[in-house]
Every structure is written in structure tokens, then in C-alpha cells.
């Protein structure tokens, strides 16, 4: 089933969720790796270009995911969830969307400092449209790093919460995102 319903997520939402998870965690790991590369390393120039292209891909998938989210109902929460758990879940999900946007925007601002375009796998370029502030690359870099670390903390919290629901509460929260609740 492609669409969400009140009992569970549809295959499109599930694929988007896991694809975003792989991209976000992979981009974070790649970012940590590539800042440690030496000038003479063969990946010194290739890694940032790949990172930027994957960041643009993440933007496109993120925009589609947001549209898909608003076009589909969310499954009903498990009846066993406490009020604070529902509120915490909503807060974490909104925070994810906000942080993803901040990381993507700050990455764009790092890459377009000096109005440089951002290449997408050599197929096309996103233009560097504006330089909104002085020292854009440095400031955006600090924001990018901080928001990325904060997002990884949320990923850890989100993962631990889903495992808690599965193994301790024995509810269907995790099964819904695995497509096994239908």
C-alpha cells in the first residue's frame, strides 16, 4: 500500500523515512571524515563535491517528504502512549524537520559564499544567489556543524525511543515504520 492510513505508514512514507535516515547519518559521517583529509589526499576535492551533491539530493527528498507528510494522514498513535510521550514525539519530529532545513540551508550558504554555484553530480548547478552577510562561509559553517551534531543527538534519542517502545512497551510504534503493522 502506497498511502498512509490510520493503522500504519504506507510504503512511500517508509521508504522516504529510511532513505532520509541513511542520507543524514551518511552525510554526517562523511562530513566528519572529509574535514580530516589532508591536502594531498585523493579525496580532498572529491569528497566535498560528493557531500554537496548528496546534500542537494537530501534537499529534494526532504521537500518531497514534507509534501507527502501533509498529503497523507498520520497513523494513530499507540493507545498506550502517555500524553507526554505524544508531545515529546511531536516536538522531536518538528525539531527534525527544522534541523534538516537548517543544515541544508547552512550547507548551501557555505558552498555559495562568493556566489559560487553548487554542482549536483555534474548534471546541473544550483546558483549562488546571494551573500547575506559578511564571513558567510565561517558563520554558516559553525551553524552547519552545531545543527548537525544536534540532529545526531536527536537521531540517537529517536532510535532509543523506538527501541524502548518495541522491546519494553511492546507496542507497534517501530513496526509501523518497518511496514509490519498492516
CB atoms within 10 A of CB 114: 9
- DSSP-derived 3-state class of residue 168: coil
pLDDT tens for each residue of 25-72: 999 999 999 999 999 999 999 999 999 999 999 999 999 999 999 999
Please report which confidence band the pLDDT of residue 181 belongs to, taking 50, 70 and 90 as the band edges.
low
Contact 133, 181 (CB under 8 A): no
CATH code assigned at 77: 1.20.950.20
Query: Across the chain, what does the average pLDDT equal?
Result: 94
- What is the number of residues in the chain? 182
Q: Is residue 6 part of a domain?
A: no
Q: Is residue 3 part of a domain?
A: no
54 near 23, Cβ under 8 Å?
yes
Q: pLDDT, tens digit, for every residue of 75-113? A: 999 999 999 999 999 999 999 999 999 999 999 999 999
The alpha carbon torsion through 63, 96, 175, 28 (nearest 10 deg) reads 90
For residue 42, give its domain range. 11-178
How many angstroms separate the CA atoms of 154 and 160, rounded? 10
Please say if the pLDDT value at position 115 is more than 90.
Answer: no
Predicted confidence (pLDDT) at residue 134 exceeds the cutoff of 70: yes
State the total domains in the chain: 1
Is 1 part of any domain? no
Written as nine digits, the cell of 152 is: 545526531
Amino acid at each position: 500500500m502506497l498511502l498512509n492510513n490510520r493503522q500504519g505508514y504506507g510504503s512511500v512514507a517508509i521508504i522516504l523515512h529510511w532513505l532520509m535516515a541513511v542520507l543524514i547519518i551518511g552525510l554526517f559521517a562523511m562530513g566528519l571524515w572529509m574535514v580530516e583529509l589532508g591536502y594531498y589526499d585523493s579525496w580532498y576535492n572529491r569528497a566535498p563535491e560528493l557531500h554537496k551533491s548528496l546534500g542537494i539530493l537530501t534537499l529534494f527528498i526532504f521537500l518531497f517528504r514534507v509534501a507527502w507528510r501533509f498529503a497523507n494522514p498520520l497513523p494513530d498513535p499507540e493507545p498506550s502512549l502517555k500524553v507526554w510521550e505524544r508531545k515529546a514525539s511531536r516536538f522531536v519530529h518538528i525539531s527534525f524537520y527544522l534541523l534538516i532545513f537548517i543544515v541544508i540551508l547552512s550547507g548551501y550558504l557555505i558552498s555559495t559564499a562568493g556566489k559560487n554555484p553548487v554542482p549536483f553530480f555534474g548534471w546541473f548547478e544550483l546558483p549562488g544567489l546571494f551573500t547575506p552577510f559578511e564571513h558567510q562561509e565561517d558563520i554558516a559553517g559553525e551553524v552547519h556543524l552545531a545543527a548537525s551534531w544536534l540532529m545526531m543527538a536527536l537521531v540517537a534519542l529517536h532510535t532509543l525511543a523506538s527501541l524502548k517502545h518495541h522491546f519494553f512497551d511492546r507496542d507497534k510504534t517501530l513496526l509501523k515504520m518497518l511496514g509490519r503493522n498492516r
